[in-house]
């Protein structure tokens, strides 16, 4: 297969760029390296597109490998024909390839195989000819008591079983029927008697067309079935499908024709439909899982890229009831300064004592922010902190952070290695403080499945989920850059070209002497030339060569010198921030001329200029800072119509959850996000966005909050930071739609289209 041509069409990129990407991947280059430092070769494809490209390439190669295995197996049986060769060459999915192989696949014992052993194949062939001949008379020839065929009826029944399996093995027929089931079939549910069934009341009498059902409902139904609360089935009009089979196999109304008609009905009901139902359920689950994993990816990226609270001394508070709240104070670099345990929550309620302890720590270490975990006893802890701040003379604020996975980290081998003398709960308090201080550096220590963004994470294919989310973490780490002399082994292990083993070797090297220049990496054990090429541009060294504190790759240092000479600047000017008009000078002389002078492409020159203008820059600094509070509201304080500022905590298929400072996130349903139609919440919102919402309703019993962002309900409009005019919003939607199409994200329509394609449409 010409992968380059096929993928260039699928991803709408030039054929030469497609071929280059394949070669770069095959040469062992990492996705972050290709995305950042090989833009001229790829047409500036970003990391997400490159990962999807790599996934698709892997699938196509696996498909070709399987097709070759099938061809070899059929050839070994001496049954390969030109028709089979052509059919295999045209198979675009693994399902189609397996359908072609089905008649030749070694099967377990079936009714048809038993009939074949009894010598009834000639009778089946005779019946399939559908002549006017007497079938019963012909069947008399096959009666053989030793083979277990004692009557004419048994002979005809065995022949019918052979015919039914032959019909079932018809690859083209299965392809047609599968496509039709996907088009007209419905997914139907019945509620079973189960103590947990009430959770699935909405699916008590539920049915929906397969082509319309959204991915989150597929996953909900699957979970209900797994918990034995729902009976789920695919429903179609059986007679219509049997008639379709008969139109292919029944030639006339003779006695033989009637037997074939009966065998066709048996083939459909016993063999074809149960198999197609399993395949469709499996494909629906696979595609719904891909959509859910895509939402994990969409949510995880902004969560990891939350702006750090630089230069702050933070007190982390891990809430609890009986065992008390664990406290950890960390300095601006994340080093632990102090720890404690206080008991301001039930059943002890030692509020004054806890207050005195915390105020003493705050004064002693000049704490400016308190980070509170959002787990058990979080509300009581937040009330305690808010009241304490009112009595504190020092300027103090707090934030509630998502502590998902903190307990996993605290009990992990990594947590024990980092803090061997601490109890797990104390490690959690440190993690909670650091999550506010530098979310990326802390969250990468946790199993990404435990971070708690998206839906149904425990129902996802574990390997695929880890693969996708691991790629997100890798992209985020490399897009920010890593300080070579201060980064943890966990952080270093996600740098392109590195792994846990090399990360430990880097720590061992710098324990003896700090890195003074990037080339020092070549002295680290296990870090060879290829690893250096991949990682060097993403690692930063402060205080040495100014270029070592930028995203400029060492391979481009000669190009930088030429560019500076071309524009009349020096490295000293770069270090002193005196190249403010470098873009204007290049534009005056022409970017193409600058690129030619430097011996690199225009995209590389543009990236170099961006880095030179802000050495040591952190892309997260330009993002909205987290909301810090000094007081809080209670759920009971919320009133219908109240306008509140909040932070998007989770984006899911049917809406977004927003933290509005009452300990319970509110839901903005997709229908309440915008005045205009949007396909998906992620088109306009992402985790971490600061928004203005209006309360639609509050259920204090179920602790549910309904919010709106519609301008008709919200006089000030959708207050998403950086989202201003109606014209800009419309352009944003167009850009989001274009980006979605490029990345092939699966909306409902996309999912149906892919389903149709997979089923051979």
pLDDT of 650 strictly over 90: no
Residues 329 and 408 in one domain: yes
pLDDT of 244 strictly over 90: yes
What average pLDDT does range 692-717 have in this prediction?
A: 79
- State which of 156-165, 186-195, 629-638, 681-690 shows the largest mean pLDDT: 156-165
Domain contains 127 = no
Of 183-192, 284-293, 604-613, 629-638, which range is least confident? 629-638
pLDDT of 742 strictly over 70: no
Domain contains 157 = no
Tokens at residue 517, please? 């220049």
Residues 419 and 315 in one domain: yes
pLDDT of 737 strictly over 50: no
**CA 692/CA 224 separation, integer angstroms:** 36
Q: What is the pLDDT of residues 161-217, one digit of tens each?
A: 999 999 999 999 999 999 999 999 999 999 998 888 888 888 988 999 999 998 889
Q: Please report the pLDDT score of residue 639 as a whole number.
A: 85
Residues 560 and 668 in one domain: no
Residues 601 and 654 in one domain: no
Burial of 637 (0-12, 13-18, 19+ CB in 10 A): exposed
End position of a domain, from candidates 80, 104, 128: 104
Domain contains 671 = yes
Residues 377 and 465 in one domain: no
What is the three-state SS of 475-523?
Answer: HHHHHHCEECCCCCHHHHHCCCCCCHHHHHHHHHHHHHCCCCCHHHHHH
Q: What residue numbers bound the domain in which 419 lies?
A: 310-437
Helix, strand, coil percent values for the chain (each to nearest 5) = 55, 10, 30
Kindly list the distances between the CA atom of residue 745 and the CA atoms of 17, 287, 408, 738, 755, in Å, as whole numbers in the listed order: 22, 11, 31, 11, 14
DSSP string, 650-683: EEETTEEEEE-SSSSPEEEEGGGT-SS--S-GGG
CB 248 within 8 A of CB 175: no
446 pLDDT band, cuts 50/70/90, is confident
Q: Please report the pLDDT score of residue 366 as a whole number.
A: 95
Domain contains 731 = yes
- State which of 225-234, 451-460, 712-721, 740-749 shows the largest mean pLDDT: 225-234
Q: Please report the pLDDT score of residue 45 as a whole number.
A: 96
Percentage, residues of the chain above pLDDT 90: 66
pLDDT of 739 strictly over 70: no
Tokens at residue 577, please? 């921030």
pLDDT mean across residues, the chain: 88
End position of a domain, from candidates 104, 127, 151: 104
End position of a domain, from candidates 611, 626, 647: 611
CB 13 within 8 A of CB 575: no
Q: Is 25 left (phi over 0), alpha (psi -120 to 50) or beta?
A: alpha
Helix (H) or strand (E) holding 644: strand 643-652
DSSP character at residue 338: E
pLDDT of 138 strictly over 90: yes
Domain contains 133 = no
User: Which CATH number belongs to the domain containing residue 486 in this structure?
Assistant: 1.10.150.310
DSSP string, 311-333: T--EEEEE--STT-EEEEEE-TT
Residues 694 and 606 in one domain: no
Residues 698 and 661 in one domain: yes
Residues 427 and 325 in one domain: yes
pLDDT of 730 strictly over 70: no
- What are all long-range contacts of 146-155, with beta carbons under 8 Å and residues at least 24 apart? 147/117, 147/118, 147/119, 148/118, 149/118, 149/119, 149/120, 155/120, 155/123
Closest by Cα among 481, 479, 527 to 503: 527
User: Which CATH number belongs to the domain containing residue 327 in this structure?
Assistant: 3.30.420.140
Kindly list the distances between the CA atom of residue 115 and the CA atoms of 103, 128, 156, 255, 699, in Å, as whole numbers in the listed order: 16, 15, 10, 20, 65
Domain contains 287 = no
Domain contains 749 = no
Domain contains 350 = yes
Residues 493 and 419 in one domain: no
Residues 11 and 43 in one domain: yes
User: Which CATH number belongs to the domain containing residue 667 in this structure?
Assistant: 2.40.50.140
Residues 320 and 402 in one domain: yes
Residues 719 and 652 in one domain: yes
Counting the structural domains of the chain, the total is 5
C-alpha gyration radius of the chain: 32
């Amino acid at each position: 297969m010409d992968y380059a041509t096929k993928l260039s069409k699928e991803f709408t990129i030039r054929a030469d760029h497609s071929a280059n990407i394949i070669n770069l991947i095959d040469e062992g280059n990492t996705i972050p390296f290709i995305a950042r430092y090989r833009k001229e070769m790829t047409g500036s494809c970003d990391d997400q597109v490159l990962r999807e490209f790599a996934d698709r390439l892997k699938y196509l190669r696996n498909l070709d490998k399987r097709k070759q295995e099938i061809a070899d197996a059929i050839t070994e049986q001496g049954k390969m024909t030109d028709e089979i060769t052509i059919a295999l060459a045209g198979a675009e999915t693994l399902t189609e390839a397996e359908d072609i192989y089905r008649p030749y696949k070694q099967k377990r014992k079936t009714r048809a195989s038993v009939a074949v052993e009894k010598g009834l194949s000639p009778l089946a062939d005779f019946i399939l000819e559908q002549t006017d001949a007497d079938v019963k008379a012909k069947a008399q020839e096959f009666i053989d008591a030793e083979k277990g065929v004692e009557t004419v009826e048994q002979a005809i029944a065995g022949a019918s079983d052979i015919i039914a399996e032959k019909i079932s093995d018809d690859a083209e027929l299965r392809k047609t029927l599968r496509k039709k089931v996907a088009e007209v079939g419905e997914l139907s549910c019945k509620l079973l008697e189960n103590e947990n069934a009430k959770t699935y009341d909405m699916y008590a009498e539920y049915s929906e067309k397969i082509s319309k059902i959204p991915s989150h409902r597929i996953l909900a139904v699957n979970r209900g079935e797994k918990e034995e609360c729902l009976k789920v089935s695919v429903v179609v009009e059986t007679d219509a499908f049997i008639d379709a089979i008969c139109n292919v196999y029944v030639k006339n109304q003779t006695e033989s024709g009637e037997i074939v008609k009966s065998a066709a009905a048996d083939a459909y009901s016993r063999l074809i439909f149960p198999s197609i139902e399993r395949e469709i359920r499996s494909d629906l689950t696979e595609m719904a899982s891909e959509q859910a994993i895509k939402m994990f990816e969409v949510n995880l990226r902004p969560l990891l890229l939350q702006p750090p609270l630089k230069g702050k001394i933070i007190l982390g508070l891990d809430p609890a009831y009986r065992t008390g709240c664990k406290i950890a104070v960390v300095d601006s670099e994340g080093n632990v300064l102090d720890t404690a345990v206080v008991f301001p929550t039930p059943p002890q309620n030692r509020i004054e004592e806890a207050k005195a302890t915390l105020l003493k720590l705050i004064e002693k270490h000049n704490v400016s922010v308190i980070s509170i975990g959002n787990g058990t006893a979080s509300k009581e802890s937040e009330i305690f902190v808010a009241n304490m701040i009112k009595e504190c003379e020092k300027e103090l604020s707090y934030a509630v952070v998502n502590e998902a996975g903190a307990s996993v980290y605290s009990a992990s081998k990594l947590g024990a290695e980092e803090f061997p003398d601490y109890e797990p709960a104390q490690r959690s308090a440190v993690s909670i403080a650091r999550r506010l201080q530098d979310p990326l550096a802390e969250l990468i220590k946790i199993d990404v499945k435990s971070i708690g963004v998206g839906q149904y994470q425990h129902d996802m294919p574990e390997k695929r989920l880890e693969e996708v989310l691991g790629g997100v973490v890798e992209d985020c780490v490399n897009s920010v850059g890593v300080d070579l002399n201060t980064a943890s082994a966990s952080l270093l292990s996600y740098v392109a070209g590195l792994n846990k083993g090399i990360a430990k070797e880097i720590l061992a090297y710098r324990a003896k002497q700090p890195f003074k220049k990037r080339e020092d990496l070549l002295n680290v054990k296990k870090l060879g030339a290829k690893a250096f090429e991949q990682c060097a541009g993403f690692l930063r060294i402060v205080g040495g060569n100014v270029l070592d504190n930028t995203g400029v790759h060492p391979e481009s240092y000669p190009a930088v010198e030429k560019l500076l000479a071309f524009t009349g600047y020096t490295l000293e000017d770069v270090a002193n921030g005196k190249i403010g008009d470098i873009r204007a000078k290049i534009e005056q002389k022409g970017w193409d001329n600058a690129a030619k002078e430097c011996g690199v492409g225009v995209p590389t020159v543009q990236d170099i200029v961006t880095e030179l203008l802000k050495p040591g820059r952190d892309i997260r600094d330009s993002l909205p800072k987290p909301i810090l509070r000094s007081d809080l509201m209670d759920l009971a304080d919320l009133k219908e119509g109240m306008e509140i500022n909040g932070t998007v905590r989770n984006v899911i298929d049917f809406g977004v959850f927003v933290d509005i400072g009452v300990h319970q996130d509110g839901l903005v349903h997709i229908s309440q996000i915008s005045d205009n139609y949007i396909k998906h919440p992620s088109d306009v919102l992402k985790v971490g966005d600061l928004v203005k919402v209006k309360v639609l309703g509050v259920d204090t019993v179920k602790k549910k909050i309904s919010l709106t962002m519609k301008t008709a309900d919200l006089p000030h409009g959708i207050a998403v930071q950086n989202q201003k005019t109606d014209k800009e919003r419309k352009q944003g939607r167009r850009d989001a739609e274009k980006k979605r199409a490029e990345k092939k994200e699966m909306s409902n329509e996309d999912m149906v289209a892919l389903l149709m394609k997979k089923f051979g449409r």
